[in-house]
A = this chain, B = another copy of it.
């Protein structure tokens, strides 16, 4: 017990110490943030580049942490953990992703340069981590999650490097690198960590009225700032506003189709809050790759509409099958919000890529598809690369999730027992009000030991 008590503190300090040492050795301000290397002569370029990135950075930062953090508060007795572990993962991931992404993508002369762009990159990586967290939420302890982050960030970075730098695939809003990767990593991980007697914690798995309202804070933030998320790292010029616009319309369409399907599939025509909280957002995922391209406003509506419908049907019909037949427990339904819409988004991206012409993009072809503009690839060949990128992502995510799953099953880690899932009191001091819960838990535990 004393060992378990020390596990989280020691792990935190160890990881913080290690990243701090690596920061001291390798990480340096980039041209934008280094007082000595900034030149006012660059005014019209560098300076504006900063204006260009800064508001996007704050929007992404708000969306990822407020958005994913509060979306997970829907669980009635797991709000402290949902928000607290979001912070914990964020804190470690942002440091560690800076190092991993830096080594793979911008390491030069013995140093990793950091600035606004690397901060947005790290935020994106944290987004993928929080998606994976959504799959195993309530069935994993904080020390397990830190170990997951240690490995998942490395794999995320590797996959992203292969896609963006080796295959030169386009994926500005991360349908593949963020959503597909995060979701399938988490789902395979969840499969390996399968809890056979989870029905003992079933009564805590749902929401209560107020916890659903808290979750809607997350939904709102995701819905509002998704245009900035998808466009944060697009090329300057028409790229960013077009990406924002496509995302904006795609989300409106996924919201309408979610309401339609939600009322349709429930027996008495009532709406389901879970669908609105989640499936309404599928429009942001499905255009993660294609929103940067000349998708057309109609294309954005059609894609969003489809994604909302698929996601809602997923929640209603597929999640129960996933659990009963495939033994994959998926707390937040990330398969419906990030998995299927992410794969659809990758396919849509490949399709729109294959249709790219010089006429449609004009000079903008250079910024969206530089290899096509330079004649190194045809549109069709770039589309095949896009599809290959999806395949690579699924492979990395599945292998990684499986591997990490076996690691997290190590004894001595802080996994909750089957009867203690979805319960804050395992990891947090909770105000007296929950005394009765504590009693009930003690009895449950006694039961499960008997």
Contact = CB atoms under 8 A, between A and B. Distances in A.
Interface string A345-360: 0000000000000011
Contact of A55 (B29, B55, B269, B434): B55
Interface string A23-57: 11001110011111111100110011011101101
Interface stretch (A111-119, A181-189, A320-328, A396-404): A111-119
Contacts of A248: 94, 119
A8 B224 contact: no
Contacts of A296: 24, 28-29
A269 B8 contact: yes
A273 interface: yes
Interface in A240-282: 240-242, 244-245, 248-249, 251-253, 255-257, 259-261, 263-264, 266, 268-273, 276, 280
B257 A54 contact: no
A194 interface: no
Interface residues of A, number: 134
A429 to B, nearest CB: 5
Nearest to A116: B241
A62 B161 CA distance: 33
Interface stretch (A79-87, A330-338, A380-388): A79-87
A228 interface: yes
Given A55-B55, A209-B79, A33 B429 contact: no
Interface string A212-256: 111011001101110110000000111111101100110111011
A213 B213 CA distance: 11
A264 B7 CA distance: 9
Contacts of A259: 8-9, 12, 84, 87-88, 91, 142
A374 interface: no
A362 B83 contact: no
B65 A224 contact: yes
B430 A209 contact: yes
A52 B47 CA distance: 10
A89 to B, nearest CB: 10
24 contacts: A8-B263, A15-B256, A16-B301, A19-B301, A24-B296, A29-B297, A32-B241, A35-B365, A55-B58, A58-B228, A66-B220, A70-B217, A76-B431, A80-B213, A80-B273, A83-B216, A83-B220, A84-B259, A84-B271, A91-B252, A95-B249, A115-B241, A115-B245, A271-B427
Interface of A: 4-6, 8-10, 12-13, 15-16, 19-20, 23-24, 27-29, 32-40, 43-44, 47-48, 50-52, 54-55, 57-59, 61-62, 65-66, 69-70, 73, 76, 79-80, 83-84, 87-88, 90-92, 94-95, 114-116, 119, 142, 206-210, 212-214, 216-217, 220-221, 223-225, 227-228, 236-242, 244-245, 248-249, 251-253, 255-257, 259-261, 263-264, 266, 268-273, 276, 280, 294, 296-298, 301-302, 305, 359-365, 367-368, 427-434
